[in-house]
Each structure stands twice: as C-alpha cells, then as structure tokens.
Amino acid sequence: MKLHEPQSAGVLPDSVPAQRREGRASEGAIRGLEAVLAEVPLLQGLAPEYLALMAGCASNVRFDAGEYVYREGECAERFYVIRHGRVALDVFVPQRGPTTIQTVERGEMLGWSWLVPPYRWVFDARALELTRAIAMDGPCLRKKCEEDPRLGYELMRRIAQVFAERLQATRLQLLDVYSCHVGSQ
C-alpha cells in the first residue's frame, strides 16, 4: 500500500515505513476529503458535521495491480472507499485455492471487520488494477461514534445496508457455484 499525504502532497517514498507515512491530514486536506466523502454513495446525505468528523480519520491510499489491500487473519484497523479501480475479495477453498467471491469497485466500501471484534480480516482483498481509495482509520472512527452515538447510528444503518447487499450477492454466487457442481455429477 502506498499512502499519500491527504490531498495536498504527493506520494511519500516507499522507503518511509507505513506507520510514518500515515500523517494526520492538514485542515485544508480535511476540507478536501469532506467533499470527496460527500460524493460516496454510502455517505450521501450524511450531515456535514459528520463528514467533517470522518474526514479527520481519512487518508488517501493507492494499491498497484496484484497488491494485497489486506490478508485474512490480519488485524483490521481500517476500511476503504474505492475511488478508482477494482478489488477482489478472495477466500481460500481447499483443493481449489484462492477463489474470488466478490469484486468491489468505484464508490463502494471495502472491509467491515474494523467494526466487529475481534477486528480481524475474514477474506483476502487484492487490487485487480491500479486502485486509489480513501482509507478510514477504524479505531479513530469507532471512537468518534462512541462520542456521538447519532453518528454511530447513521454509519451502522448505512453499513448494514452494505452487509445485506453483499450477503445477498454471495448467496446468489454460492447458488450458482453449487448448481454447476450438481449438474456436472
């Protein structure tokens, strides 16, 4: 993952450890991220004060094609809003290897494990092409939600809709996979 200083600066060198590359956004950069967040379908209609709170937890990131955004079992400390590119969600299937169960694209949220203890990723996420995203710091956002339960409710209500859509899509894909196997026996 290559991190950017939010909005106003360029890419920091790869030699700088990721922990140091994740600086807090400047006030001007936060205002720029607020505008970007306001255009995300998941967040459209969210009160401006909530967008401002969320922007304080946000940074721009970039992943090259083939690069893993996260791996199953790793600590889940952020989620992503895809701005450009596509990311495959993969699960390991014995005797088949990694299997893509879903593809996340522009405008969609990637990752929910930051929200649910024990805060570990349950899938691999791999960039299929150059992907740019907004990374939201999970612990930062959880703290803001605890401090303002209305923000927490608004986010949970919206994220629950994403859960429901993804669960339905996975269910349909599993029906398709199993119907292929039943027909071939």
Render pLDDT for 108-149 as a digit per residue (tens, 0 to 9): 999 989 999 999 999 999 999 999 999 999 999 999 999 999
Residue of 85, 39, 93 lying closest to 61 (CA atoms): 85
Specify the number of domains making up the chain: 1
Higher per-residue pLDDT: 182 or 71: 71
* Residue 177 pLDDT > 70: no
Question: What average pLDDT does the segment 84-97 reach?
Answer: 90
Q: How far apart are CA 50 and CA 152, in angstroms?
A: 10
Residue 17 has a pLDDT of 33
Cα 49 to Cα 151: distance, rounded to the nearest angstrom: 9
Domain range spanning residue 27? 2-183
Specify the pTM.
0.77
Judge whether residue 5 has pLDDT over 90.
no
User: Per residue in 13-47, pLDDT tens?
Assistant: 333 333 323 445 555 566 689 999 999 999 999 99
Q: Which residues contact 34 (CB under 8 A, 6 or more apart)?
A: 48, 51, 52, 54, 55
Whether the upstream peptide bond of residue 6 has omega within 30° of 0, thus cis, is no
Q: The domain that contains 45 carries what CATH number?
A: 2.60.120.10
Asked whether the beta carbons of 102 and 170 are under 8 A apart, the reply is yes
pLDDT at 59 over 70: yes
The per-residue pLDDT for 64 is 98
Confidence (pLDDT) at 7: 36
Q: Please report which confidence band the pLDDT of residue 10 belongs to, taking 50, 70 and 90 as the band edges.
A: very low
